[in-house]
Amino acid sequence: MSERHFPPPWLIEEHVDSFIVCDAIGQALGYFYFDNEMQRPAATSRLTREEARLMAASFAKLPELATRG
């Protein structure tokens, strides 16, 4: 069985209602959805735009963290 690799750098793409983290060859690795209209009920469980951005940024740093010893 071959190992899967997701080459760095991992980049963040901003979309209308989400941030998508992709590896260097464009493979989507993580989706972080947010809700700009925070008047909706809390049952939607979506993040604010800033929360989603921060989570995507932290996720995109994982390759750097893995190489630190």
DSSP 34: B
* 66 band by pLDDT with thresholds 50, 70 and 90: confident
Which of the two residues, 34 and 2, has the higher pLDDT score? 34
Q: Which domain holds residue 29?
A: 7-35
CA pair distance 25, 27, nearest whole angstrom: 6
pTM of the model: 0.81
Per residue in 9-36, pLDDT tens?
999 999 999 999 999 999 999 999 999 8
Total domains in the fold of the chain = 1
3-state secondary structure (DSSP) of residue 26: coil
The verdict on residue 68 lying in a domain is no
Query: Biggest alpha carbon distance in the chain?
Result: 48
The verdict on residue 62 lying in a domain is no
The verdict on residue 55 lying in a domain is no
Q: How many CA atoms lie within 13 A of 42 on its CB side?
A: 0
CA pair distance 67, 28, nearest whole angstrom: 21
